[in-house]
Amino acid sequence: MAPHDLRRPFKRAAISDQQKRRELSLLRQAQNRRDAQQQARCLASSILSLQSPVPESEPEPEQPDIDLETAIEAEQESGASSKDLDVRRASKLRGPEVRKWFARQLMLPEWMIDVPDRLSQDWYVLARPSGKRCFVVSSNGTTVSRLRNGSILHHFPSALPAGAKTRDGSGSAQSYCILDCIFHELDQTYYVIDVVCWNGYSLYDCTAEFRFYWLNSKLEESGACSPPSYYHKYRFSAVPVYNCDQNGLYTAYTGVVPYAKDGLLFYNKHAHYQTGNTPLVLVWKDENCSQYVIDTDSKGEIPSQQQVVLELQDNGKLATSDDPPVVFGCLDADMIQQSGLDSGNLLRFAISDGGLSFSDGKLEKADLNYLGKSNRARAFADSYSKILFQYTVRHSPLKIDDLLASINSPDDQENKSCDMEMAG
C-alpha cells in the first residue's frame, strides 16, 4: 500500500482536469444566462403532463399527442425559439429518449476525483440521503414526483404552494414549485437537496448559497415539513447543509441523521442550477457513509474487475456520457458487424489487468475487455468522473483524512489569509 501522504489530495498525481473544468463552468454560467423563468415553467408543465415511459418489454400503444397548450402559449408569449420548446419535443418521446430527456433536467454531480481548491471557503457539504432521486412539482392543486427515467413515483396532495385542492383553493396558475428531492422509503419522506422554483419564482440562475437560504426559510413556513395529513400525504425535510470547514465536513460525515446516508455531496457556493453533469457539485463516498461504494454486477456482487458502460459512436469510438465525451477506445468495423452492434448502443466492458494510464491529467490508455450490451433500462454511458472514482476506490482511494488534510493544507491557509486581507 502506498504511503498515506501520497494519497493526500494536494499531493495526488493528476488524473483529471476537474479543477480546470470547475473554473470554466463558473465562467460559462456568468456568460450564458438563460430565460430561467421560462425554463422552470416548461419543466413544471412537462413533469405534470407527460405520460410515463412505456417499459421496453411491452408493445407501445397508440397515444394521442399530449395537450400542452398552456405551456406552449406561455413559451410563445416569452418569445422562445423553436429550439427551446423542450416541452413539445418531450411530449412525443418514448422509451429511452424519455429517460434521457428527464435525466438531463436534473443537476447531476460529478464524482470527486481531486479535492477542489478553496474547499473550506467556497463549498458546502451535506450527507446525501439514500433513496430515489426525483423532481417534485406542485401546481394547480396537485403534486407530482417523477424519477430520473420520467416515470411517476407519486401523485399526491401536499402543503407546498398550490400543491393541494384545499378549502382555501389551489392557488393561481402561476403558483408552482419544483424541488430536487430524494425519496427515502424507510420513513416515507422527501428529503429536499435543492430548489429549482418556488411559488412561481425561478431559482435556476441563483447561486447555491441563495438557493439553500431560500429553501430553508420557505420550506418550513409552507407547512411541508409537518407530519402527513389529509391535504399533505408525504412529509418533506430539508437536508442539513454545512460550510465545508473542519467542523462542517466532520459533522456531515459522522453526524446522526434520520435517514440512511449514501455518501457526501459538495456544492460550490457560487454554482447556479446547471442541468446535466457539472463539476460544481461533487459526490464522494466511502464504506463508513455509504452502503454502495464499489459498483456491483446484476447479481449484487462486486466483480473482480471494474466494469464500465460506454457508448458506441459512429466512428467506432467508445465514449463516456460527458459533454464533450471522453474516448476510452475504439472497436474495429469487423467486430461491430459480427456482434450486430449499432451506433448509440451502450456496451459493457471490464477494465483488464493493464488498467488505466494517464498523462498530464488526461486518459492515455485503457485496457478494456468487451462483455456485451448493457441493460436496456440504462439511458446513458458512465461519466468519466464515475469511472475514475471507481478506479481509484479499487487502487488508491481518496479518504476522509485526505479531505480533512486538504482543509489544513498550506494552500488553504494562504487562501484564508488572502480572504481576511481583502475583507479588512
Tens-digit pLDDT profile for residues 58-81: 333 333 332 323 332 333 333 333
Q: Point out which residues pair with 368 in neighbouring strands.
A: 351
- The pLDDT of residue 421 is above 70: no
Q: Which domains does the chain have, with CATH numbers?
A: 294-408 (2.40.50)
The pTM assigned to this predicted structure is 0.81
Asked if 236 contacts 158 with a C-beta cutoff of 8 angstroms, the reply is yes
Of 166 and 203, the structure prediction assigns the larger pLDDT to 203
Phi, psi angle pair for 95, to nearest 5°: 55, -130
| Mean pLDDT on 131-152 | 89
Asked if 405 contacts 119 with a C-beta cutoff of 8 angstroms, the reply is no
User: What 8-state DSSP symbol labels residue 232?
Assistant: B
Question: 378 pLDDT band (50/70/90 cuts)?
Answer: confident
Return the C-alpha cell found at 289: 457513509
- The pLDDT of residue 1 is above 80: no
Which pLDDT score is estimated for 377?
74
- The pLDDT of residue 178 is above 60: yes
Angle of helix 36-49 versus helix 69-77 axis, rounded to 10:
170
Question: 362 pLDDT band (50/70/90 cuts)?
Answer: confident
Distance of CA 270 to the CA centre of its chain: 17
| Mean pLDDT on 35-42 | 63
Asked if 196 contacts 40 with a C-beta cutoff of 8 angstroms, the reply is yes
| Mean pLDDT on 269-278 | 92
Question: 90 pLDDT band (50/70/90 cuts)?
Answer: low
SS3 per residue for 310-348: EEECCCCEEECCCCCCCEEEECCHHHHHHCCCCCCCEEE
Q: Output the CA angle 146-134-70, nearest 5 degrees.
A: 45
Cis peptide before 59 (omega within 30 of 0): no
Closest CA to 418 of 124, 120, 209, 210: 120
Q: What percent of the chain is modeled with pLDDT above 70?
A: 74
Of 12 and 44, the structure prediction assigns the larger pLDDT to 44
